[in-house]
Structure 1
Amino acid sequence: MASFHIIQPLTECPIHMESFERPKVLPCQHTFCEDCLKRCQDSSGGLLCPTCRREYSAIDVSKLPNDYTRLALLEAVDSSVDSMDSPADAAQSKIKDVRYEKQEPRATVVLKLRDSDGKEVLDRRGVNVKVINPSGDLVQCQVTNASHEYKFLPSMSGTYKIYASVNGMYLSNSPKELTIFPPLRQSSSVFGEAKYKGAHDIAAFNGEIFVTDRYNRCIVVMNRSGEQIRSFEIKESNMGHFDPFGITISITGLLYITDMYNHEVFVCDTRGRVRQRFGKDILKKPNGVSLTKNNEILVVDYDDYCLYMFENDGRFKRKFGSRGKDYGQFNHPWFVAITGNGDWIVSDCNNRRLQVFDGSGTFRFLRSIPVGYLVRGVVVDHEDKIYISSVIDSGWTKMNYKHVVMVYHANGKFYGEISLRDELLRPRGMCITEDDSGEHILIVTDDSNALHKYKMI
């Protein structure tokens, strides 16, 4: 019996967590089902090893060597099944524990399996564990040598859902949830090799990262590892020098860039080819820009103390807000972020608060989140946790200002500070994306000469 529980984990594919079917060996000596590897390939036939992350260019999975050792183990397990104890019963079994170990960093799922008579079961026949990350994607889960332990690697902060079943029936307390928060007061690392003279906002799309470099009058484009791959400047008729500030990107890859000097919004592709421009006769000092759930364009106007809404074709639609301290009024707003359900979160800088508006169509004020400090950048993650860049007054002069990135729960409750207080000069816009290793990160722009990177787990 003991030998069975040592052998059985070796017969299960780490990808789909069931017995191997046509096991194939990668050059890194890790084994997976042939069909599982094919599902991992990109459009060019390349793939990353799900275990060690080694990268392979176009590869013919069907021609990889068979893992005859695994096939022999499968035969040994099959011949042993008949002598095993009673199978686990879903109603009597449960997820015993789910924990996150920061040192590894790995999350562990521990099952407590019992048969229909309540007797503890040792083997994992018919048992399946599935993990869904905060963005709704399936996470690879690997079984350990311990018969009832499964491990997975979280790649982002947020709530993970863990489902466990026996022969297609969920365990009595499945699913369980595991919430992982970003670490607090972490020291940043500098992201990217480009030199900036005023990095003000940032957005990511399709493996590329776009930064508005205001004083170099261009958009800098990098890959996920931070290497600059190109830059571009917009030059159109009837405009002065290019003065980019805010940026957002549609799901189709169109960039929306606010230009303070020219008082308008430019819409272009990822190479800088302009498709549209609007707002010149309306906007005074456009800062942040975002797209609503209905694909309308929201532009924050710093000097006009309001938000402007434009139709997707650039036609003016509505104005929201005025100067003041009442709810729905602003004192130099900076940026706007859109939550998962379409609400707007506006950084109301000199009123030292965030304001939340219903974006479903009524556009009514929902609530205020008092921050107590000057608020600039704002971005939300997959679970609508709110990240802001802010200025903390620690003295009577600007020389004593401290700049920090803070985190709030979706309900407005303060969570903590992600950054240290002495490493940011003038933080502006932010974005959440993945780095070259696939780890989720927060990138903060700084209008001096750097981008700052923080881990999201």
Structure 2
Amino acid sequence: MINISCRLLGFYYFYILYIFITSLRPAEGSLIYQASFNSVCCSNSQMFPKCLTFFKENNRCVRVFWAQDFSQDRQIIISAIPLFEILQQLTNQRASIEEDIQSSFEDLHKQLDVRKSVLLMELEVTYGLKQKVLQAQIDSLLRGEGDITATCTQAEEALAGEPCVASLQVERELWERLGELAGLGLPCQPEENDQLDLVMETDGLRKSIHNLGTIVTTSAVASQSEAMGAGLEQCIVGHPASVTIVTRDKSGGACKSGNAILSAEVFTPDGSIVDGEIVDHKNGTYEFVYTVPKEGDFSLALRLYDQHIKGSPFKLTVTKTLEAELDVAKRRGKSPGQKKKGSKRASSALGTPRRKTQNPIEDDLIFRIGTKGRNKGEFTNLQGVAASSNGRILIADSNNQCVQIFTNEGEFKSRFGVRGRSPGQLQRPTGVAVHPSGDIIIADYDNKWVSIFSCEGKFKAKLGSGRLMGPKGVSVDQNGHVIVVDNKACTVFIFQLTGKLITKFGSRGNGDKQFAGPHFAAVNKNNEIIVTDFHNHSVKVFTLEGELVLKFGSNGEGNGQFNAPTGVAVDINGNIIVADWGNSRIQVFDGSGSFLSYINTSADPLYGPQGLALTSDGHVVVADSGNHCFKVYRYLQ
């Protein structure tokens, strides 16, 4: 037994030697392999000394080999960590979708039961009315028949008796009675019919049920997907540029279906974000359209399922005109699109209100909060802004996947949010609103739903899952209903807080009742919905039923014109305050859409403002996305 164990141990050492030998040059490996094999075949007393001698002589080589081997294994494991995260997200998505399916079909069952009860009640009511008419007619005829029969019997008895004065009197009474009966005009024709049918157009419903719900997925992977188009290299200030993204599977084959989770960001070297719109062609290709408001060097990051596609991030050069870019290239002897050095904007101290002091240019700024980062009071691509009645300012910190809360004076209070694609997690929060109940409503662009949290940041529910394509802004009307601006679907949705859809309106286009990348919404004192129509450079006002009330604005830099409007708010007088993203300013209009004034932002200029709100103490707060901060301005109502 001992001899067998020793031999097994010997083969174990031989196996270790074999691993080491295979990493050496062929000639060395062959000699050592032969020597080692002979050692194993020898007696144990000969084998172990040779093995020990080998390890002593080659101790450093063995250690180096093992260190390299283990390091490679460690790198392989580390590189595989995202796979575990993807698998976990996939599992979470499965559980979430299963919950949605159960909930949706339970709701359908309830609606079917309600409809069944309504039909049965309608049947009983209709039957009762008809039955009452017919039964009354039958009763009337039976009474008439009884009267006639009784009178006829009396007449027969009178005729059968002996004639006398009394009989003559009875005869006259009978004749009068018979005359009355003859004149009654009994209802002999039916006063109702027996039609009581059921029309159930179930064919269309069965077809709808058969096709109800779709599990949407794609095999697209970032490592194989690619982008193309002139918008990858250069564009002109203020002119839309376009990039086409082609998604491919792991083998490089083109995907034929849409709905992939694709994100696109254009940013400057200092991290300022430029907005844009992704159009899903539903055939595996996508188009990203963006407009840059100023000259400079930018980067375009295209991510598929949070992973960069081939070549991403791309370097962009933005010029005033294409000819100017070509002239510069000729003078420098370089090709168009070469990167210039960018300048970084100054930013505020972390979480401390920076108030305007000793400023030679007078403006309306009270203070600003924020700098680029991931800590408290720091932001990365802040988007939506909301203000509560209890003196709180809420910021949707999009790329940090959280919401940060401050006082009206700029003091940091709290933050909440965990990155992810499961219910209760945030992937790309863009819009935020406060419900009268105190709940916090968050539009999550990438998760394609709206999340509802308590005022303490505890997740309560989600709504719009399976309906929304890219929710951007949220608001609350006077009925407590949730207004959702779907940027991707170019539609406005109205939900109950329970998640039930009340109505929706809008489609893609440039018509009065259409949108092109709508962003945010506000509700005025008439309970009308005010929507900023980004690519149509206008603001539109609708009733809750989706009827257009008012439209104002056009593309330009003049008073009352826009270069892609974003944030919007309404004051107590019905005046409309609009963030003008491309022109980096805030304009004020009256309730009829006539231009009134600007909010003076000259001293510390805005750079791509996004969400906007009115605080409880009457100031205007705006998300200055390009400067990674929010600013609070005086506002005279």
Q: Deviations over 1:120-175 (max 9, x none)?
A: xxxxxxxxxxxxxxxxxxxxxxxxxxxxxxxxxxxxxxxxxxxxxxxxxxxxxxxx
Counterpart for residue 268 of structure 1: 453
Amino acid corresponding to residue 386 of structure 2 in structure 1: A
Alpha-carbon spacing, 1:383–1:241, altered in 2? closer, same or farther (3 Å): closer
Query: Could you tell me which of 345, 364, 367 is aligned with 1:190?
Result: 367
CA contact (8 A) 1:197 1:449 kept: yes
Counterpart for residue 179 of structure 1: none
Alpha-carbon spacing, 1:202–1:237, altered in 2? closer, same or farther (3 Å): closer
Across the aligned residues of Structure 1 and Structure 2, the Cα RMSD in angstroms comes to 2.1
Alpha-carbon spacing, 1:256–1:293, altered in 2? closer, same or farther (3 Å): same
| TM-score between the two structures when normalised by the length of structure 2 | 0.39
Q: Deviations over 1:271-324 (max 9, x none)?
A: 210111021211111001111222221110111111112122102232201011
Q: Does 1:380 align with 2:570?
A: yes
- Where do residues 73-92 of structure 1 align in structure 2 (5 Å cutoff)? none
Query: Could you tell me which of 444, 451, 455 is aligned with 2:630?
Result: 451
Give how far 1:185 is off: 8.4
Amino acid corresponding to residue 190 of structure 1 in structure 2: F
SS at match of 2:606: coil
Query: Could you tell me which of 237, 244, 259 is aligned with 2:444?
Result: 259
SS at match of 1:230: strand
Give how far 1:192 is off: 3.4
Structure 2 unpaired stretches of 5+: 1-360, 371-376, 556-561
Counterpart for residue 440 of structure 1: 618
- Where do residues 198-213 of structure 1 align in structure 2 (5 Å cutoff)? 198-205=381-388, 206-213=390-397
Give how far 1:241 is off: 5.0
SS at match of 1:215: helix
- Where do residues 124-135 of structure 1 align in structure 2 (5 Å cutoff)? none
Counterpart for residue 27 of structure 1: none
Identical aligned residues as a percent: 25
1:277 and 1:381 mapped to 2: Cα distance?
Answer: 29
2:614 and 2:496 mapped to 1: Cα distance?
Answer: 26
Amino acid corresponding to residue 592 of structure 2 in structure 1: N
Q: Does 1:419 align with 2:604?
A: no
CA contact (8 A) 1:302 1:332 kept: yes
Q: Does 1:342 align with 2:527?
A: yes
Q: Deviations over 1:47-78 (max 9, x none)?
A: xxxxxxxxxxxxxxxxxxxxxxxxxxxxxxxx
Counterpart for residue 332 of structure 1: 517
- Where do residues 146-161 of structure 1 align in structure 2 (5 Å cutoff)? none
2:581 and 2:393 mapped to 1: Cα distance?
Answer: 25
CA contact (8 A) 1:192 1:222 kept: no
Counterpart for residue 430 of structure 2: 245
Query: Could you tell me which of 581, 584, 602 is aligned with 1:403?
Result: 584
Structure 1 unpaired stretches of 5+: 1-183, 393-401
Q: Does 1:312 align with 2:489?
A: no
SS at match of 2:621: strand
Amino acid corresponding to residue 445 of structure 1 in structure 2: A
Alpha-carbon spacing, 1:340–1:234, altered in 2? closer, same or farther (3 Å): farther
1:443 and 1:245 mapped to 2: Cα distance?
Answer: 16
Alpha-carbon spacing, 1:449–1:189, altered in 2? closer, same or farther (3 Å): farther
Amino acid corresponding to residue 354 of structure 1 in structure 2: V
Q: How many residues are paired up?
A: 259
1:271 and 1:234 mapped to 2: Cα distance?
Answer: 14
Give how far 1:251 is off: 1.4
Counterpart for residue 279 of structure 1: 464
Amino acid corresponding to residue 502 of structure 2 in structure 1: K
2:470 and 2:362 mapped to 1: Cα distance?
Answer: 33
Higher relative contact order (CA 8 A, sep 6+): 1
CA contact (8 A) 2:520 2:532 kept: yes
CA contact (8 A) 1:258 1:264 kept: yes
Amino acid corresponding to residue 630 of structure 2 in structure 1: L
